[in-house]
A = this chain, B = another copy of it.
Amino acid sequence: MPTDGIPAPRNLAEFEERLRRVGGTLPKRLKQCAEYVAANPDKIAFATVADIAARAQVPASALMRFCQEMGFSGYSQMQKLYREEYSQKWPDYTTRLASLRNGGGETPSGLLAEFSEAGRSSIENLARSVDPELLRKAVTVLAGARTIHIVGLRRTFPVASYLAYAFEKMSIPAILHSGVGNLTQHHMLGEGDALIAITFAPYTADTVALAEAAAQRGVEIVAITDLPTSPLAALDALHLLVSEIDVGNFRVLAATMTLAMTLSVAVGARRRLL
């Protein structure tokens, strides 16, 4: 416990402020600690006490005293601060919503709040995780295609139908493979076409089958999927990964829709330039 009544800093900014204020008044070794910590915030998140201490050229115990002097219970608590800052926390909805679901006694507006939060962070995560280069390539492929085929069944069908609508509006030739009437339309896939395949675990067989047929016919494939282990991985498709949250068996589609929208508008813009 801290000998003096100084409380632990709540966030990084508060801590750095404190560092700045008291930094000058510390004894030699502790000042070394302060300087190293201030100069290498990124290292703190990962490294161990011994590691940091060695780099700052102080014994481990000095670093411990430093942490306690700053109001933390110890090194671990200080490190937690840095880790939180580092990975902006994306709360664990899978477990949270599971309990909520079992509890059952939730009000509709409570649910709305939960789903809003889930959708919001899904979208934020999407913006952070999508590889810009991959996205650019996907747009290039689609913009160069003669006809864009779209397949997404069951829970991804809303996304597929959205893409179809968007392309139609921009007068870009696109075909939505909806599976209506159980018609297979493999023969429509031709050289120079591209396919957008959307599928999440458990992967719909028909979607995978269509993608495989497309690959055989030399159709380029852009896959919107959740994991790099999806069956589409076997084909050499461009993989745009979206990690989204399931509630029960329902996928929050907010991020996927956002990605679909981006794709369609970007393709539209690129086509107009050609």
Interface residue ranges, A against B (CB under 8 Å): 16, 19-21, 23-24, 31, 34-35, 38-40, 42-43, 45-46, 55, 83, 86-87, 90-97, 100-101, 104, 106-109, 111-113, 115-117, 119-120, 123-124, 126-128, 130, 132, 135-136, 138-139, 154-155, 157-159, 161-162, 165-166, 169, 180, 201, 226-229, 231, 233-234, 243, 247-250, 252-254, 257-259, 261-266, 268-269, 272-273
Contact = CB atoms under 8 A, between A and B. Distances in A.
B233 A115 contact: no
Identical copies in the complex: 2
Given A38-B229, A108-B135, A123-B254, 18 more contacts: A19-B228, A23-B227, A39-B243, A45-B87, A46-B87, A93-B128, A96-B128, A100-B127, A107-B136, A109-B130, A111-B265, A113-B127, A115-B262, A115-B265, A116-B127, A119-B119, A157-B161, A250-B261
A250 B83 contact: no
B46 A108 contact: no
